[in-house]
């Protein structure tokens, strides 16, 4: 699979994840939210009064493991840093937040994807504190 194919599959997966979250009543606040030079949050959403930072992992199949296996310690660290920086950027309203992972299995050519939404997939990294 080429880089373009991989990027295209990732974008398709993010759209499918967004569609699945919206169908559950989530309000999407941002897509591919850039925080500084190196951090990006795939989706920022609101579920009632909870702010949700969403990592989307897309794979054509689960032959090489479930997509959540790609959310390792390094990715959790990056997501924690991005979340804290995002909260600073929006002036730290008193808000509950969590980290979700949405797994998307399939491709745009294979029909409907299998979407697995994992709520509260991990907690804020130990070295980070909410600045407000």
- pLDDT per position as a tens digit, 82-128: 999 999 888 877 789 999 999 999 888 877 899 999 999 998 877 77
Structure confidence at residue 15 (pLDDT): 95
Structure confidence at residue 63 (pLDDT): 78
> Which residues does residue 51 pair with via DSSP β-bridges, in sequence order?
46, 97
Q: Which residue has the tokens 């309203």?
A: 93
Q: For all residues of the chain together, what is the average pLDDT? A: 87
Task: CATH number for 3-122: choose from 3.40.50.150, 3.10.20.30, 3.30.360.10, 3.40.1350.10.
Answer: 3.40.1350.10
d(CA 17, CA 89): 25
DSSP structural state of residue 26: P
Rounded mean pLDDT of 72-83?
91
Higher pLDDT, 64 or 32: 32
d(CA 9, CA 97): 28
Higher pLDDT, 131 or 110: 110
Strand residue runs (E) in 4-132: 27-35, 39-47, 50-59, 96-105, 114-122
Domain boundaries along the sequence of the chain: 3-122
In the three-class reduction of DSSP (H, G, I as helix; E, B as strand; rest coil), residue 38 is classed as coil
d(CA 5, CA 63): 18
What pTM was computed for the model?
0.89
């Amino acid at each position: 699979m080429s880089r373009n194919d991989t990027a295209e599959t990732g974008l398709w997966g993010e759209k499918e994840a967004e569609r699945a979250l919206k169908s559950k009543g989530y309000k999407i606040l941002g897509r591919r939210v850039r925080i500084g030079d190196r951090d990006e949050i795939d989706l920022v959403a609101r579920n009632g009064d909870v702010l949700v930072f969403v990592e989307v992992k897309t794979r054509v199949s689960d032959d090489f493991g479930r997509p959540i296996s790609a959310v390792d310690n390094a990715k959790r660290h990056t997501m924690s840093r991005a979340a804290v920086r995002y909260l600073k950027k929006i002036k730290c309203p008193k808000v509950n937040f969590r980290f979700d992972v949405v797994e998307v299995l399939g491709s745009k050519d294979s029909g409907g994807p299998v979407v697995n939404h994992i709520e509260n997939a991990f907690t804020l990294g130990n070295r980070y504190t909410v600045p407000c």
